[in-house]
Amino acid sequence: MELTNFINIINKSITSNEGKGYLVGGFIRDTLVKRSPKDIDIIIKGPKSAILPEIVSSTGVTAIFNDSRNDITKLTLSEPLVDTQISEIDIKFIEEEINANLSLRDFSINAMALDLSHYSTNYSHQDLIDPFAGIKDIQTKTIRIINASVFVDNPIRLLRAIRLASSLRFNIHPQTARQIKQDSHLILSIPPEGVGIEFLQILSNNNAKTHIEILDRLSLLEHVIPELALTKGVTQPREHYWDVWNHNLHCLDHAEKLMLGHQNSPIYSMSPWTKELEDHFNQLFSTTHTRGTHLKLASLLHDIAKPNTKTVEDSGRTRFPDHEHVGADMSSVILKRLKMENVTINYVSTLITHHLRPHHMQQGVLEPTRKAIYRYFNELKSEGIDVLFLHLADYLSAKGPQLTISDWATRAKMMSHVIDTHSEQVSEVYKTPMLINGNDLMTEFNIEPGPILGRLLADINEQHALGNVNTTSEAIDHARQILNNIQGQQ
C-alpha cells in the first residue's frame, strides 16, 4: 500500500467517527529535512473505542501493542508501505486541542502537526500547525526547546538533544545549551539502559568526536562515563602528542574516518580499504548497531585505564603497565552499568585487551610472518580486522600533527599485508576440502577425544593454511610427527 492511500484510509476511519487526526513529531520533521521517515506518529481527537478498531481492520495491521506508560497504541504492518521504510504507526488519543498537545513536546522541530485531511506527498508549509516556529528552526538547522521545563518533564531529552543534533547535523541553540548544562544532573534519574541507547545512537552518527565533546561541554558526559573525565590532563610520553583525554577523542575520530574509505585524503587513502572491509564494518553486530559503531565505542574507551595505571620511573620515563587488561575490565564495568548487550561488552573488552598486539606483531621485523598472522586471526577471529583498524586509529592519534607521511605509509602498508595474507589463507582453506577430521585421526592413531586430538587438528589446520600440508597423506604424516614428539618428551 502507498503512503498517501494509507493515510487517507486512516483519516476516513477517523472522520467517519467524528474525530480529527494529525500527523506529528518525527514524521513531519523528517519529511521537511528530506529524510525518509521510519515510522508514523498520529494524534487523534475522537472516540478511541470506535476509531481504533476501524483503523486496525482497514489497514492490514498484524500486531498491536499498548504502551500504557505513554498512552500510545503501536500498530505493526505486515510489510513496509510502498517506497518507504515505514512498518509501524504510533497512535495517541487526546482530549485536549492539538496546540495544547504540541506544547507538551520537547523541541520546536518536533512540535509541528499536519491535519490528515491536508496530507499529500508535497504538502505546503502553510498547511502545518507550527506554534513554536519549528519550520524556521529547520531552515536554520537549530535544536531549540519549546520551554524551560522540557528536561525536568523528561530528562532523556538531555541526551536526545545531542542525538538529534548529530543525526540531523544541526546546532543546539545557545539558550537550549545553557538549559541542558543547568539541568545536566537530571540525567542521573534516567534508567541506565536509556542512557546507553542514546549514547550509542550519538556514536553511530558521523562526527562522533564533535558530539562527545558537546556532551562533555554541557556536563553530561561526566554522568554517562565519569571515568573518561579522569583522563583529562593525564600526560603521556613524548611518543604521544595528546594527553589521554584528547588521544581517546582523536582515536575515535580517526576510527570513524578510516571506515569512511579513502575520501581523496592523503592520509586515509593509504589505509587498507575494500568492499569486503566496508561490508564488514556495516554489518549489524548487536540488535541495533553495526560493527563500525562498536569500533568507535572501543576507540573512545581503549586507553580508559591509563590514569589508573600511570607510573613515572626514577629515570623520568612514564609507563602505563597492563593498561590494556585493566582497561578491558573497566570497559566491561562501564558498559554493564549502561545495560548494554553482552555482545557489545565482550567486543569492546576484546579490542581493548588486544589493541597493542598489532604493534607487538611487527616489532623487529619487516613484516609479520604468515604463521604469526594465522595465529593472530585464529585467536581473534573476525575481531582481528577490528583490532587492526583500532591500531591504525591509535597510531594516527598518538602522532597527531607530528605524523610523517613516510612512517604512516609503512604502517598502513604493513596492515594491508596482514589483511591480504589473512584473506589468502582463508581462501586457501576454503577452496580445498577438509584434509582430515577428528574421527580419521582417532582411527589412524587409536587415540581418544581430548587435548592431544585437539592439538593435532589445530596444528594440521595451521599448516594447511600456511601451505605446508596439502593432502590427507601429508596431514597424517604431520600428525604422526607431532605424536612422536609428544611421546619423546614423556
At 13 the pLDDT is 95
- 229, HSE (Cβ side, Cα atoms, 13 Å): 12
Which letter does DSSP use for residue 450 in this model? S
Spell out the long-range contacts of 123-131 with Cβ–Cβ below 8 A and sequence spacing 24 or more.
128/28, 129/22, 129/98, 129/99, 129/102, 131/99, 131/102, 131/103
| Beta carbons of 23 and 90 less than 8 angstroms apart | no
Does residue 155 sit in helix, strand or coil? Answer: coil
What does the pLDDT look like over 378-433, one tens digit per residue? Answer: 899 999 999 999 999 999 999 999 999 999 999 999 999 999 999 988 877 666 67
CATH architecture of residue range(s) 1-140: 2-Layer Sandwich (3.30)
| Beta carbons of 332 and 349 less than 8 angstroms apart | yes
Report how far residue 195's alpha carbon sits from residue 201's, in angstroms, rounded to the nearest whole number: 10
Within 8 A by CB and 6+ apart from 488, the residues are none
At 253 the pLDDT is 98
Report how far residue 67's alpha carbon sits from residue 274's, in angstroms, rounded to the nearest whole number: 44
Query: How far is CA 72 from its chain centroid?
Result: 28
Report how far residue 305's alpha carbon sits from residue 319's, in angstroms, rounded to the nearest whole number: 12
| Beta carbons of 19 and 46 less than 8 angstroms apart | yes
Residue 292, all three cell numbers: 563500525
| Beta carbons of 196 and 288 less than 8 angstroms apart | no
Residue 340, all three cell numbers: 548494554
Distances (CA, A) of 303 to 322, 338, 400: 11, 19, 16
Give the sign of the dihedral formed by CA 98, CA 93, CA 30, CA 117: negative
CATH number assigned to the domain with residue range 225-427, chosen from the 4 options 1.10.10, 1.10.3210, 3.20.20, 3.40.50: 1.10.3210
Does residue 326 sit in helix, strand or coil? Answer: helix
What does the pLDDT look like over 420-452, one tens digit per residue? Answer: 999 988 877 666 677 888 888 888 888 888 888
- Which H helix or E strand runs over 417? helix 405-430
- Which H helix or E strand runs over 216? helix 208-217
Domain spans in the chain, listed from the N-terminal domain onward: 1-140, 141-221, 225-427, 438-489
Within 8 A by CB and 6+ apart from 267, the residues are 396, 403, 405, 408
At 430 the pLDDT is 60
Which residue positions in the chain have pLDDT lower than 70? 429-432, 490
- Which H helix or E strand runs over 354? helix 342-354
Query: How far is CA 285 from its chain centroid?
Result: 8
| Beta carbons of 328 and 352 less than 8 angstroms apart | yes
pTM of the model: 0.89
Domains 1-140 and 141-221 share a fold: no
| 446 Rama sector, left if φ>0, alpha if ψ -120 to 50, beta otherwise | left
Which letter does DSSP use for residue 268 in this model? G
Report how far residue 205's alpha carbon sits from residue 213's, in angstroms, rounded to the nearest whole number: 14
At 429 the pLDDT is 66
Within 8 A by CB and 6+ apart from 392, the residues are 254, 258, 271, 411, 412, 415
CATH architecture of residue range(s) 141-221: Orthogonal Bundle (1.10)
Which letter does DSSP use for residue 255 in this model? H
